[in-house]
Each structure stands twice: as C-alpha cells, then as structure tokens.
Amino acid sequence: DVKVTQSSRYLVKRTGEKVFLECVQDMDHENMFWYRQDPGLGLRLIYFSYDVKMKEKGDIPEGYSVSREKKERFSLILESASTNQTSMYLCASRQGTGITYEQYFGPGTRLTVT
C-alpha cells in the first residue's frame, strides 16, 4: 500500500513565523503535490514537483515556497505566516506524470495562524 505521511495533523503558529510542513511518501513516486483545502473552494494546487529539485508553481503559490531535496520528501514552507494561510494542507504523490496515474493523499495538516 502507498503511504503518504504528513508531519503534523494540527499546527498552531503565530503571524510572521516561518512554518515548515513536511510530507513523506514511501513508494518511490516521482511526482508530489501540495494543495490547500478550504470550505466551498475545494482543493487548490500550491506547488507541484515532478522530480528531485524540480518544481512548478500551481494556482496559488504566493506566500509559499517548496523544497524537494530527496525523492521521498516534499516540504512546504510559509516564509512569514499570515492569518489568511489558516487552512487544511494536503500533500499527494503520484507515480509519474500522466492522468492514468492515481494521486495518493496524506491525511492533511490543519494549520491555524493566530
């Protein structure tokens, strides 16, 4: 079974803090994704990585950066957290590029910025 794990289920941070959200997958998948999930908006793609050290901006990259130094790990970084970044963050991985490959999701990190 594919397993995607995220470092925290719940996180509370203060405005202006630097925040790291970690995601690890154990199936040697090439592609990894970070989404945020907000009520009424569904999932919106923040960043995508198609290989180690390779990344592409998604639909809402502003205020976020990412790091992929190893194939199994994809980190989302909030350089200076703001209250409008309070949300549920979901990580996903996929074997390769192509719609025939299913995305596998982690359980999510609920981040609150106060």
Partner 1 sequence: GNSVTQMEGPVTLSEEAFLTINCTYTATGYPSLFWYVQYPGEGLQLLLKATKADDKGSNKGFEATYRKETTSFHLEKGSVQVSDSAVYFCAREMKTSYDKVIFGPGTSLSVIP
Min dist CB 114 to partner 1, Å, is 23
Residue 68: half-sphere exposure toward Cβ, Cα within 13 Å: 24
Q: Contact with partner 1 (CB under 8 A): which of 41, 52, 80, 112?
A: 41
3-class SS at 50? strand
What is the four-CA torsion angle of 100, 26, 20, 113, rounded to 10 degrees? 70
Any contact of residue 107 with partner 1 (CB under 8 A)? yes
Any contact of residue 4 with partner 1 (CB under 8 A)? yes
Query: What CA–CA distances, in Å, run from 34 to 73, 93, 96?
Result: 12, 9, 16
Any contact of residue 1 with partner 1 (CB under 8 A)? no
Min dist CB 48 to partner 1, Å, is 6
Any contact of residue 40 with partner 1 (CB under 8 A)? yes
Min dist CB 108 to partner 1, Å, is 6
Any contact of residue 51 with partner 1 (CB under 8 A)? no
Any contact of residue 98 with partner 1 (CB under 8 A)? yes
Query: What CA–CA distances, in Å, run from 94 to 16, 26, 41, 72, 106?
Result: 32, 11, 23, 11, 12
Any contact of residue 22 with partner 1 (CB under 8 A)? no
Any contact of residue 87 with partner 1 (CB under 8 A)? no
